[in-house]
A = this chain, B = another copy of it.
Amino acid sequence: MEVRVQAGPFDIGAEISRFTEGRTDMGAIVTFSGLVRDSAAGDLRHMEIEHYPAMTAPAIEKIAAEAVSRWSLGDAMVIHRHGRLAPGEQIMMVATAAPHRADAFAAAEFLMDYLKSRAPFWKKEVTAEGAAWVAAKDEDEAALTRW
């Protein structure tokens, strides 16, 4: 299980290779990656992601450990960036490895739902109009009730 919180970019292909290297007991790998999406008006200059350094990695590790205990997983990993990111850049990724696909999918969705609402990150969007904090969505909080 690996959790990384970093300012710099990551190479999702290299991460997947490393994550699965040498394993012949996992049939299913699911990844999610989140990208900086432009505003509807197309005027996003950049996104700024703030986090709570002392809490971030422990909070994610707790979520990942919960995923590993709830599903038949071989492994899970999470990378989340902070700082300034341009439109189209990768914000974060999760990967899950399991013998069977249902476990890999469910665990990846669980990780994403919890990361969205329980890991201490805050996104700010900077456009031509100014800067605005992204508001949490009710549907993200509601998504937690399914687990």
The residues of A with any CB-CB pair to B shorter than 8 Å are 11-14, 16-17, 20, 22-38, 44, 87-88, 99, 101-102, 104-105, 108-109, 112, 143
Contacts and interface: CB of A to CB of B under 8 A. Distances in A.
A31 B34 contact: no
A28 B34 contact: yes
A37 B14 contact: no
A111 to B, nearest CB: 11
Given A13-B12, A13-B14, A32 B112 contact: no
A51 to B, nearest CB: 19
Contacts of A35: 20, 23-24, 26-29
Oligomer copy total: 2
Contacts of A24: 35-38, 44, 87-88
A108 B30 CA distance: 9
Given A13-B11, A16-B33, A22 B88 contact: yes
A107 to B, nearest CB: 12
A80 to B, nearest CB: 14
Nearest to A38: B24
Contacts of A27: 34-37
Given A16-B13, A109-B105, A28 B32 contact: yes
